[in-house]
A and B are shown apart, each in its own frame.
Chain A
Amino acid sequence: MTRAESESGADRALVSDFLESRDEGAFRRLYAAHTPRLYLFLLRLSGGREAEAEELLQETWIRASSSLPAFRWQSALATWLCGIALNAWREAARARSPVCASIESAAEEIPAGPPETRADGTGRVDLERAIRRLPEGFREVLLLHDLEGYTHEEIAGLLGISPGTSKSQLSRARGWLRRWLVAEAGSAQKEGVQ
């Protein structure tokens, strides 16, 4: 049995329990199993704005609770929930700033220089900050592909773009992060010399 199949078994039990009873306890178990991943995904999407991530998480669970009876398990539950969260995020982003929500228009927003560097020695905190500073369209693709494991075809379907656009946006987002890594390494070398 693959890990995905194992996850599916546990998720099916959680969902079945919830749909059979609509019980608060059953929902809390479902919530506990999937919220940590969803919350971090939304927190990253929203550039680290906690209040926004919380609003979006609430919207995600409201939509998911309403749509769960129609869920046919053609994807993993986590993937389905992630798609709902992404749609909630994109609708909120469009309402906030229609221009910035466009992935094509975001192409010109990538900053020329690296973000703040240095941190805990692993670069983890700084990379987290760097991702949150990426323009929204690039951030979406990078998160979906590199952290959530979506394929370009899946991303294309979710974002309403072509797989080619998804690939090029990912490449540009990675390029920006790579420049940052090089700058970070250079900065560390200078400190070592001094």
Chain B
Amino acid sequence: MSETDDDVPPEHRRLLSELDREAAAPPALEERIVSALRARGMLRAAGPRSRAPVRLAAAAAGLILLAAGFLAGRSFDPRRPSPTPGPRYALFLLRGQERVPQRPEEEAGRVAEYRAWARGLAKSGRFVSGEKLEDRVERVGSAPDVAASAENGEEEIRGFFVISASDFQDALSVARGCPHLRHGGRILVRPIASV
């Protein structure tokens, strides 16, 4: 709402703001639409690109696997291409005001966005690794402030990426493109010490 908010009672505004902005479409509909696009020649069937060399197809498959590892809690495929040598940075994905996906379709959509972003990084040689973390937090050692903060969800780390970047500004630039921000999350960027 923007230009004519003056005549909108707060209660009306509150109710409108509480309405859902998204709804899951029936899964069968996706298949129907994919079939319709394929029938019109707008879509190629899933699989390796026909004109791509075998070596590139294998690399692409590796990329998909490593990108799929994020948000799935699995290690990445060891066949992944080497990232560009250079300073490395850790991007810690912190819980912010993001809406946690409630339905499997929503979760799938969220995963797809992170995957696409990670694939873009991999293509530019900046992707090193990434994992989603489970919710469980256990305190070990004597760091009560940090632990309490995590338990309160204030600095809860949801996952992380390790990237290769030319410098700190470049790493910040990469972080700003992460879909985690789009969903209201926050990202902490830390250089990895070269020891």
Binding site for B on A (CB under 8 A): 1, 3, 5-7, 9-10, 13-14, 16-17, 21-25, 27-29, 31-33, 35-37, 39-40, 43, 54, 57-58, 61-62, 65-66, 122-124, 127-128, 131, 145-147, 149, 151-152, 167, 170-171, 174, 177-178, 181
Q: What 4 A-B pairs have minimum CB-CB distances, sorted nearest first?
A: A36-B22, A32-B109, A9-B177, A40-B23
B112 touches A54 (CB 8 A): no
Q: Say which one of B7-15, B81-89, B128-136 lies at the interface with A.
A: B7-15
| Distance of A126 from chain B, by nearest CB (Å) | 9
A146 touches B37 (CB 8 A): no
| Distance of A23 from chain B, by nearest CB (Å) | 6
How far, in angstroms, from A148 to B33 measured CA to CA in the complex? Answer: 24
Q: A1-B181, A33-B113, A39-B25 are in contact. Are A151 and B2 (CB under 8 A)?
A: yes
| Distance of B62 from chain A, by nearest CB (Å) | 15
> B55: CB under 8 A from chain A?
no
A181 touches B25 (CB 8 A): no
Q: A1-B176, A3-B182 are in contact. Are A28 and B30 (CB under 8 A)?
A: yes
| Distance of A67 from chain B, by nearest CB (Å) | 11
> B195: CB under 8 A from chain A?
no
Interface residues on B, range: 35 or more
How far, in angstroms, from A65 to B11 measured CA to CA in the complex? Answer: 40
How far, in angstroms, from A171 to B23 measured CA to CA in the complex? Answer: 27
How far, in angstroms, from A122 to B17 measured CA to CA in the complex? Answer: 12
| Distance of B150 from chain A, by nearest CB (Å) | 25
Q: Say which one of B38-46, B72-80, B139-147, B155-163 lies at the interface with A.
A: B38-46
| Distance of B100 from chain A, by nearest CB (Å) | 14
Interface centre among A32, A65, A124, A174, by most chain B C-beta atoms within 10 angstroms, is A32
B176 touches A6 (CB 8 A): yes
How far, in angstroms, from A33 to B113 measured CA to CA in the complex? Answer: 6
| Distance of A86 from chain B, by nearest CB (Å) | 16
| Distance of B25 from chain A, by nearest CB (Å) | 4
Q: A27-B34, A174-B8 are in contact. Are A124 and B113 (CB under 8 A)?
A: no
* Chain A residues, CB < 8 A from B170: none
> B49: CB under 8 A from chain A?
yes
* Chain B residues, CB < 8 A from A178: 9, 12
Q: A1-B176, A6-B181, A24-B34 are in contact. Are A62 and B29 (CB under 8 A)?
A: no
Within 8 Å by CB of B179, from A10, A31, A128, lies A10
Q: Apart from A61-B37, A145-B2, A167-B4, what are 11 other A-B pairs with CB-CB below 8 Å?
A: A10-B182, A23-B46, A23-B49, A24-B34, A24-B38, A27-B34, A36-B23, A36-B109, A62-B40, A146-B16, A174-B8
* Chain A residues, CB < 8 A from B182: 3, 6-7, 10
A36 touches B106 (CB 8 A): yes
* Chain A residues, CB < 8 A from B21: 37, 40, 147
* Chain B residues, CB < 8 A from A128: 19
Interface centre among B8, B21, B116, by most chain A C-beta atoms within 10 angstroms, is B116
* Chain B residues, CB < 8 A from A170: 4
Q: A28-B112, A65-B37, A174-B7 are in contact. Are A10 and B177 (CB under 8 A)?
A: yes
| Distance of A73 from chain B, by nearest CB (Å) | 15
* Chain A residues, CB < 8 A from B25: 35-36, 39, 54, 57
A65 touches B23 (CB 8 A): no
